[in-house]
Structure 1
């Protein structure tokens, strides 16, 4: 393990594919209220500051700009409990099954093994897939400090 820091868990976010693909909601830049008014049906989150939006950001490290009230319970000094959290969410919200019965991914054991390796190197881990009801789920464990966005301070201060 070469990373010196800790990890924060974000999510799970569950929503529509359309909302997930609405890039203007997923970027931390301020939105022009005049531009928003020109949209036929802007997402209600467009009127909230980036830090309060629930839709996952485009860059995983931008999660660190958000300070959800339960973040302390999802902050880890060791990657193992973070991976356990990922597995619990995956088991609670399993992926939708393929119509042909084939595997939708490599399975939780392989995903957990890769997540342990990645987190140990300070790489963020994001699990995102479709769940029943034509919805997507996204949840992430984010390294803090971020290797790619080092100027973002820890959300816990």
Structure 2
């Protein structure tokens, strides 16, 4: 298949950077999927988010770090698959915390800070593959990418 309407990666990177809601899919120990919305920031080619280690997703990610993330909507589809890991680097945590505060407000209008959820820990999704397509033109727009090192992926052949 020859794609004639492929969307370049920078379009999807901007969508990841600007998104307010991300849907994370993890796997329970018995193999059942678990999908939840979450807040996060896309920085340096990774998705950062926080969760309580004792939550379902926290326990799932600790046992099985492979996960997938997709954005809201089904017209301009983007799915990013990768491996998650806890982040304990103070410099990364500070940068992500500032980005979260700039991006999200709590219901009372306060800038969201990671410290507002004391049990939560910072996680990152290290992308390995991505799939994208425009639903109305699935065939000619379907594109796959792979990360081979660095923050930007490389397109995979059809």
Fold-level similarity (TM above 0.5): no
Which structure is richer in relative contact order (CA contacts within 8 A, separation 6 or more)? 1
TM-score (structure 1 length as normaliser): 0.27
Please, what TM-score do these two structures have when normalized by structure 2? 0.26
Q: Which structure features the higher share of strand residues?
A: 2
Greater fraction helix? 1
